[in-house]
Chains A and B, each alone.
Chain A
Amino acid sequence: MSFINVPAREINCKIVYYGPGLCGKTTNLQYIYAHTNPNAKGKMISLATETERTLFFDFLPLSLGEIRGFKTRFHLYTVPGQVFYNASRKLILKGVDGIVFVADSQIDRMEANLESMENLEENLKDQGYDILSIPMVIQYNKRDLPYVASVKEMRELLNPRGLQDFEAVAPQGIGVFETLKAIARLVFLELKKGR
């Protein structure tokens, strides 16, 4: 849920990167962190295991400029992708304003993508949200790897509603900022509509 601080002239929104294990959610945040002006970002926090798998969440506060004299601050979170961390995933969705679903383009991860999408729908429902009405974009990540599914196939599987979607290679930054901008724009449009 967005938080508008009138005295501080700030609009704060929460965006969650969701998707199956090892699909590149943390890599998206790492790229954004590494390629953002130091004045526009806070510290990136990763609560990860010793093997650098996300344990609870990654967090990155980011400023995206001003609207009508109000600073826009986005809090980017990732969820742990591994199936058994579902309790944590559910908690991180609390108060979410927009979702980036990061899908792994490798053919053998299609089932994991689908499972994660279904899990997102269930967890959103548990938090009182409807997947059909929350701002959401989809990113097809790892496009540079061999044995990837075609975008057409991935759309049919994961994006039957025709949401905005992006091809990405997160470690190289391909598609990363495009995805972020798209979700930020959708969140603002939704906020405006909601008033």
Chain B
Amino acid sequence: MESPQVMFDEEFREIQAICDKLQHDANAKVVFIVDKNGQPIASSGETEQIDITSLASLTAGNIAATGGIASLLKENEFTTQFHEGEKSNIHIQIVAQRVIMVVIFDQRSSLGLVRLRMRKAAEDLTAVLMRLLKKAESPGAQTPLDQITDEDIENLFKE
């Protein structure tokens, strides 16, 4: 299964809502969702102090490296990771083998609560991702690429 290529308004709103709910229910500092290639999809919580673009790339790199270890050990994948810090902890989970859900939390929450809430959020997210995949593959799906001309591309690189 490949990563979603296109994110549409309706599914984005649903994914954002899942992100917001998880952040609230898990009492988390930050929740974000990133595709396996490192592209950030949605985020929620105290994101203004965090560089989500860099975190997304590093998380995807981390998951890719762990996936490499898994395949050397003849495992399919390690679906969750947990890193414990002095002030912040991070829980990472692969959802539907295609996106990565990340929860950053502190002493206001607990690993047990985060895991519990992530399970439900992962189910909801899987359903949306499946729908998104079908939609993106449907012949009528409109993307900005349909309208881009060679001239638009050349204009981007004009000095």
Contacts and interface: CB of A to CB of B under 8 A. Distances in A.
Interface in A118-151: none
B51 A4 contact: no
A7 B7 contact: yes
Contacts of B146: 195
A6 B143 contact: yes
Interface string A59-94: 101001111111010010000000000011011101
A35 interface: no
Interface stretch (B56-64, B73-81, B84-92): B56-64
B37 A1 contact: yes
A173 to B, nearest CB: 15
Interface residues of B, number: 39
Interface string B1-45: 011111111001100000000000000000000011111010000
B12 A1 contact: no
A68 B143 contact: no
A152 interface: no
A180 to B, nearest CB: 10
Interface in B122-159: 143-148, 150, 152-157
Contacts of B156: 64-67, 72, 184-185, 188
A88 B155 CA distance: 36
Contacts of A67: 144, 148, 152-153, 155-156
Most buried by A among B67, B143, B147, B153: B153
A67 B145 CA distance: 9
Contact of B5 (A1, A65, A90): A1
B116 interface: no
A48 interface: no
A8 B145 CA distance: 15
A7 B8 contact: yes
A91 B5 contact: no
B51 A91 contact: no
Contacts of B65: 56, 88, 91
A42 B51 contact: yes
Contacts of A195: 143, 145-146
Contact of A1 (B3, B57, B61, B148): B3
Given A67-B144, A70-B144, A6 B3 contact: no
B7 A11 contact: no
A3 B5 contact: yes
A61 B53 contact: yes
A36 B21 CA distance: 38
B107 interface: no
A164 to B, nearest CB: 13
A6 B8 contact: yes
Given A3-B3, A3-B5, A191-B148, 6 more contacts: A6-B7, A42-B51, A45-B57, A59-B54, A68-B147, A184-B157
